[in-house]
Structure 1
């Protein structure tokens, strides 16, 4: 056990007035950040999860505030049992190890679970307080988009952005800002939805913002675990649109064609951002496993661009320049071409 984990062990022992020997920590799966997670079993058998977020690396204030606000709004987020922001320690309700992505074993199962996740998203957008959240504004959208030329193009591939990049960048930002504002989880994906007692629970919400209505929709539909057909994507989007108009999240005169273009533009923005983030994780943070995920999000990028014809020139550059450059880089790093990439 490292020094940081030992400090956490002593902290939780004080919280429960227990001997140190009764506070054995079991490390559990982490995420892409500098946070670490441990499971603790209290003497009566009650499990708890301990989050270690070094304060010099992670600011847990947003996580704590959002957890309290969203739980008060009757949303399924874990309860907080103890918090020490100065130390970077949080004791949480244990939601178990059953993650939604583990249930996506067949097409039918995936369809069912994604439908349930979209039902949860509707509750989040209708119930989650958003006034105190940071704004998903032009500057933040732009900084996220700039991760793509900075980390994917310049640092990994060593190629320039195409002439179409500035216009695409501004068009994507304008499309996002034209949408109604709601609480945005910002990583609403099958890996961040826990299953307990046949109910979906939210985790990893510390980066939530007040932003575009379609962001979490495409975060789920164009996420890590699925490449949906055009027909199924349209069905998901149409169902979301109909329900959002009915409950007032979208104006009554919102038409499905305009909304679909906004959804796909939002998906393009997110795919570009993720390509940049995964390259940064690999190059800056020494996590090369993220390079293997690039082809999947490249496929998402292509599918999004195909649905927004005004960006045909950028799509052509993706096909003729970006895709072969990325394949060469992955081969250089020992990552073979995947069947998913070949078929997309």
Structure 2
């Protein structure tokens, strides 16, 4: 294996090789079969995932497009972050075997239950007793973030030199312009066009404010489809893009997730829970408390950036990856962005701070661009 980070395997190597098994779809499973690999639904990346059936172990094969490292979404980064998170005591799947030749990492099979799987109600609501179980799991997920942000032991890991700084945050907002506003809606917005000077100034102001935040380790894609449940315990997956960023980055990724409807009262409950427990850990580490007032402002700004980036990803997946299923989450994400709770802080009016950005969001949600957006979603091919 190349790279700086080595990974001790949790079990004896079994010489699992993808070419040694027949690959079938789930509808081809029959009772008396030889060991096979079942192609299973993956994430939004270019990786392929297979489930091993009919052998003495149950395993998942994660196949990368190629064996390389250095940019984040690659096998070397996955291994490095797995190594670090394991040493920190974070729950990640056990590694069974690493096969560089076929660009495969074989891990234990965590099953099919994601955090989203236990959300039986239309909305996650702190006032609904039927939501008690998922709410408790969300709290555990927030506890795990604090554990990663303030580990008991210092660990070197690939994320230590990757940052959500101004350049990265601004790149993500431009990703929204490139792949959603221009690529999906064909609006032809450009920083060279003087008509959009004020709009781009708003984007830069948002990134400058977030760039000034204290940085901790971030999972980078912390939503309900990257948190799995096995034996009533949570597990992290898809952590290879981890980097250093604001405390709020993963918090809003989870609590302002595009895939789940959550009441704002419930969101605030989670925010209060997180900051209370965060400050307990900071106190143990002889660090000053973070005030709820300042953190609530960071949450609003970070949530704005994350939700905008998510819409950009939905446009990218549709136009570049031919995965239009994510388009159905655009309106839900816009409703979060345009709700009054996403704009008003105790001391700061976010909408007044970034008027040109919010004008565009309102135009998409309920204004001049709504009809065009609806038409594009309905008729996308």
TM-score, length basis structure 1 = 0.84
Secondary structure of the 2:45 match is coil
Once structures 1 and 2 are overlaid, which stretch shifts more, 153-162 or 216-225? 153-162
What whole-Å deviation, never above 9, does each CA across 1:150-178 have from its counterpart, x for those lacking one?
A: 12112222333755422322222222222
1:149/1:322 CA distance change after superposition, 3 Å = farther
Structure 1 residues 213, 85: closer, same or farther in 2, change over 3 A?
farther
Task: From 52, 66, 70, give the equivalent of 1:55.
Answer: 66
SS at match of 2:206: helix
Residue from 98, 105, 110 that aligns with 1:90: 105
Give aligned pairs, total: 322
User: 1 CA distance for matches of 2:366 and 2:175?
Assistant: 17
Which residue pairs with 1:9 in the alignment? 19
* Cα distance, 1:187 vs structure 2: 0.9
Q: Does 1:116 align with 2:140?
A: yes
Kindly provide the CA deviation profile for residues 181-215 of structure 1, in whole angstroms up to 9, marking residues without a partner as x: 21111111111111011000000111111111110
Whichever structure has more helix as a proportion of its residues is: 1
Per the alignment, residue 373 of structure 2 pairs with 329
1:90-130 superposed Cα distances (whole Å, 9 cap, x missing partner): 11111111111010113414423222221222222222846
Change (3 A) 1:300 1:85: farther
Does the 8 Å contact 2:149/2:218 carry over to 1?
yes
Q: Which moved more, 1:113-122 or 1:187-196?
A: 113-122
Change (3 A) 1:86 1:61: farther
Q: Secondary structure at the match of 1:140?
A: helix
- The CA distance in 2 between the partners of 1:11 and 1:175, in whole Å, is 52
For residues 39 and 143 of structure 1, what CA distance do their matches in structure 2 show?
A: 35
* Structure 1, 309-318 or 192-201: larger mean CA deviation: 309-318
Which of 309, 313, 318 aligns to 1:282? It is 318
> For 1:135, what is the secondary structure of its paired residue?
coil
Instruction: Give the aligned partner of residue 305 of structure 1.
Output: 343
Tell me what 1:225 maps to.
Answer: 259
SS of 2:164 mapped into structure 1: coil
Cα 1:321–1:264 shift into 2, 3 Å: same
C-alpha distance in structure 1 between counterparts of 2:287 and 2:298, whole Å: 14
Query: Measured at CA, do residues 258 and 121 of structure 1 come closer, stay the same or move farther in structure 2, by a change above 3 Å?
Result: same
Shift of 1:11: 8.3
Q: 1:102 to 1:331 in 2, by over 3 A?
A: same
Aligned partners of 2:156, 2:373: CA distance in 1, in Å? 41
Give how far 1:253 is off.
4.8
CA distance in 2, matches of 1:239, 1:335: 42
Unaligned 5+ runs, structure 1: 1-6, 13-20, 337-344
Q: Residue in 1 aligned with 2:288?
A: 252
Distance 1:260-1:66 versus aligned 2 partners, 3 A rule = same
Residue 310 of structure 2 corresponds to residue 267 of structure 1: no
1:64 to 1:323, Cα distance in 2 relative to 1, 3 A: farther
Which of these residues, 225, 236, 255, is aligned with residue 202 of structure 1?
236
SS of residue matched to 2:239: coil
Distance, in Å, in 2 between the alignment partners of 1:150 and 1:253 is: 39
- Assess, with a 3 A threshold, how the Cα gap between structure 1 residues 123 and 254 changes in structure 2: closer, same or farther: closer
Provide, for residues 205-263 of structure 1, a one-character-per-residue CA deviation record: whole Å limited to 9, x for no partner: 11111111110000000113333333322222122112222211895253211110101
1:131-142 matched pairs, under 5 angstroms: 132-133=158-159, 134-142=162-170
Within the candidate set 272, 275, 280, 1:238 is matched to: 272
Partner residue of 1:38 out of 50, 59, 75:
50
Is the CA contact (8 Å cut-off) linking 2:139 and 2:273 kept in structure 1?
no
Could you tell me which residue of structure 2 aligns to residue 320 of structure 1? 363
Q: Give the Cα separation in 2 of the matches to 1:177 and 1:70.
A: 25
Q: Secondary structure at the match of 1:114?
A: helix
Deviation at 1:305, TM superposition (A): 3.5
**The residue matched to 1:201 in structure 2 has which SS?**
strand
